[in-house]
Amino acid sequence: MINLTVGGKPHQIPGSWNELSALQVKLYADYIFKNFNLLFQKVEDRLEVRDENLLEISRIGLLYGLLDLPWETFVVIGEEQRYGLIYDHGLLDFFFGKNTLTKNPLPVVDINGNLLYGPVDYFFQISVAEFVFADMFYVAYRYSKDIKELDKLAAVLFRPADQHANPEAADYSGDIRQKFNRHNIESRIPLTSQLQEAEKISIFLWYDACRIRLAESFPHVFNTNNEKKASNQNAGWKGIILEMSQGDVTKFSAVEYSATLILFEELERRAVQALKMKADIENQKNKTKS
């Protein structure tokens, strides 16, 4: 958090994605994400501002959300100090950099009295089966920008509490949600479709940041070839699960409900080992020739 004096009073202001409140993430969704194509345009390999006036309005809205002040106090601050906070202090800079929102901003959502619980931070409790389905809808949204795909993504990730879960128990996993069941996704979509659009985008932003971190942690798993497979909705990451089970469908369910991080650690190890073996073989061939 950043300590600043604003309007003569000390304030703590978020300085990174993971310090944002749920409301502040939703403000980013409303002011920047939803208006991204109005604010920016891609020119070759870089982004250029399309509408300076709209961007300035969006920045002021974000600053208002970060400061968490009553509107009448925010207005009194004055244009000069607002400018200094935005440009001199760079309070909004992280919003326009890499998305690192791995702390779930919506641990629970209340939809007309129906409580649905989200994953714990990062992908620590995401099963392989859950990841496969979530990633399918995540990729579909990235390509189509159809908000209905986010309804499905939320229906995968957000589930009722497991009535038998006991946070005080020694064997508590840290995940209060019911075990993932692909057959229950469809029945939750009518609920998750009622989420605010900014809430759906917040869920997408969290998943996106976690996936980026996952890809950076396991670069040989998230190689170009596998990413192409992931973009195929008919295949996705199912091939990776089969690789883990070595094609034995009788082991499919056991692999399916293992932890995603454990699976990818194993696949990364295998990929690195395979590359090393290939390099050793090539070196041996070269020695033989010489």
> In this structure, what is the dihedral angle of CA atoms 93, 94, 99, 100, given to the nearest 10 degrees?
170
> Which of residues 43, 72, 96 is at a domain's end?
96
Whether residues 22 and 144 share a domain: the answer is: no
Whether residues 33 and 139 share a domain: the answer is: no
CA nearest neighbour of 153 among 162, 161, 142: 142
User: What does DSSP say about strands 46-49 and 108-111: parallel, antiparallel, or unpaired?
Assistant: unpaired
Whether residues 235 and 189 share a domain: the answer is: yes
- For residue 245, tell me if it sits in a domain: yes
Whether residues 53 and 147 share a domain: the answer is: no
Contacts for 199-202 with beta carbons within 8 Å, 24 or more apart?
Answer: 199/26, 199/106, 199/109, 200/147, 200/150, 200/151, 200/153, 200/154, 201/26, 201/29, 201/33, 201/34, 201/150, 202/22, 202/25, 202/26, 202/29, 202/105, 202/106
- For residue 220, tell me if it sits in a domain: yes
- For residue 103, tell me if it sits in a domain: no
- 140 to 20, 134, 230, 236: CA distances (angstroms): 27, 10, 10, 11
Whether residues 88 and 131 share a domain: the answer is: no
Determine the pLDDT at residue 270: 81
Phi, psi dihedrals of residue 61, rounded to the nearest 5°: -60, -40
Q: Is the pLDDT of residue 120 over 80?
A: yes
Per-residue tokens: 58: 């969006």
CB 98 within 8 A of CB 18: no
pLDDT digits over 136-179, tens only? 999 999 989 999 999 999 999 999 998 887 887 877 777 889 99
Which band of pLDDT confidence, cut at 50, 70 and 90, is reported for residue 244? low
User: Using CA atoms, how far apart are residues 5 and 177, in angstroms rounded to an integer?
Assistant: 41
User: Using CA atoms, how far apart are residues 157 and 122, in angstroms rounded to an integer?
Assistant: 12
Whether residues 131 and 222 share a domain: the answer is: yes
Whether residues 163 and 69 share a domain: the answer is: no
Q: Is the pLDDT of residue 255 over 80?
A: no
- In the predicted model, what is the mean pLDDT of the chain? 85
Report the length, in residues, of the chain.
Answer: 290
Which band of pLDDT confidence, cut at 50, 70 and 90, is reported for residue 36? confident
Strand partners, 5: 10
Whether residues 124 and 255 share a domain: the answer is: yes
CB 286 within 8 A of CB 149: no
- Host H or E run for residue 12: strand 9-13
Q: Is the pLDDT of residue 222 over 90?
A: no
Q: The pTM is what?
A: 0.87
Determine the pLDDT at residue 176: 87
Which residues touch 5 (CB under 8 Å, ≥6 apart)? 11
Whether residues 146 and 90 share a domain: the answer is: no
| Domain ranges, residue 37 | 2-96
The domain total for the chain is 2
Coil, helix or strand at residue 109: strand
- For residue 179, tell me if it sits in a domain: yes
Whether residues 72 and 34 share a domain: the answer is: yes
Determine the pLDDT at residue 258: 77
CB 27 within 8 A of CB 201: no
The DSSP annotation for 127-150 comes to: BHHHHHHHHHHHHHHHHH--HHHH
Whether residues 262 and 180 share a domain: the answer is: yes
Whether residues 147 and 171 share a domain: the answer is: yes
